[in-house]
Amino acid sequence: MNSRKLIWGLGIVGALLVLGVMAFAIFEPIQVLPRIRLSPGYLLADQQGESFTSEDVRGDIVLYTFRYSGCEEQCAGLDETMLEVRDRVGEVDLGDTDFRLVTISFDPETDTTDVLTAEADKFGADGLQWRFATGDEQHLANVVKAGFKVWYEEQDDGSFSFDPTLVLVDGWGVIRGEYEYQTLKSDADKIIHHLDILTEEIRNATGAAGLAYEAAHLFLCYP
C-alpha cells in the first residue's frame, strides 16, 4: 500500500511538473524576480511614535531603505530614488496589492520621534504609504545587518559608514530585489520595471499561469 501511494505521489508530482513546463511554454516569455530569502520580522516605532511591525505590511509590496538623519549627501541618491519610485508607482498595475515605502533609521539615539517626524515631513511621507521608523539598537542590528544584510557602522564622530541599499519585499515577506545605489545611475527605472514583473506574477499566481510562473522560477528566468 505504501509503495502504491509513493508511486501515485510521484506520478502527481511528475504530472504537475509536465503541466508547469507546458504552461511555461504557452505563456512565455515570462520573467520573474528571484526569491532571495525571507525578510526579517521587526518591531519598531514610526515617526508618530506608534508601534510598527513587519506584520503591519504583510500582504503588501514594500520598498525598504536604511539611513540616518545626518547622512545628508550620502543619502541624496537614496532619497531621490525613493521619491521617484513613489511618484511613478502609478505606472504599475498593482491590482489589489498595496505598495509601501519604509525608511529605517539605524541611529535611534539621534533619530527621536521628533527628528523622524521632521524627516518624514521633508519628503512628504504620510505615515501610511511611506513610514519612517527606528527601534532598539540591538534589534536594529539584528534586523538591518543580519536580516536585510545591509552593513552600517558608527564612527568616532557619531556619523555612520554604511552601504546605501534598497530592498524590495513581496507580500509573503520574501526579498525579491536588492539594489545598492549607483552614483552614476538611478535605480528607479529598474525598481519600477521589477515592480511590474512582480505584480504580474502576483496577478497570475493561480491556475495554469501560476504553474508557468513556477516553471519560470525553476528555469531562473530572471531579468
pLDDT at 55: 97
Look at residues 175, 155, 171, 189 and name the one whose alpha carbon lies nearest to residue 71.
Answer: 155
pLDDT at 97: 96
Please say if the pLDDT value at position 13 is more than 50. no
Q: What is the CATH number of domain 33-205?
A: 3.40.30.10
What is the grid cell recorded at 54?
A: 513587519
Please say if the pLDDT value at position 72 is more than 80. yes
Backbone angles phi, psi at 108, to 5 degrees: -65, -25
Are the beta carbons of 67 and 175 closer than 8 angstroms?
no
* 3-class SS letters over the chain: CHHHHHHHHHHHHHHHHHHHHHHHHHHCCCCCCCCCEECCCCEEEECCCCEEEHHHHCCCEEEEEEECCCCCHHHHHHHHHHHHHHHHHHHCCCCCCCEEEEEEECCCCCCCHHHHHHHHHHCCCCCCCEEEEECCHHHHHHHHHHHCCCCEEECCCCCEEECCEEEEECCCCEEEEEEECECCECCHHHHHHHHHHHHHHHHCCCHHHHHHHHHHHHCCCCC
pTM metric for this prediction: 0.87
pLDDT digits 0-9 by tens, 58-71: 999 999 999 999 99
User: Domain boundaries in the chain?
Assistant: 33-205
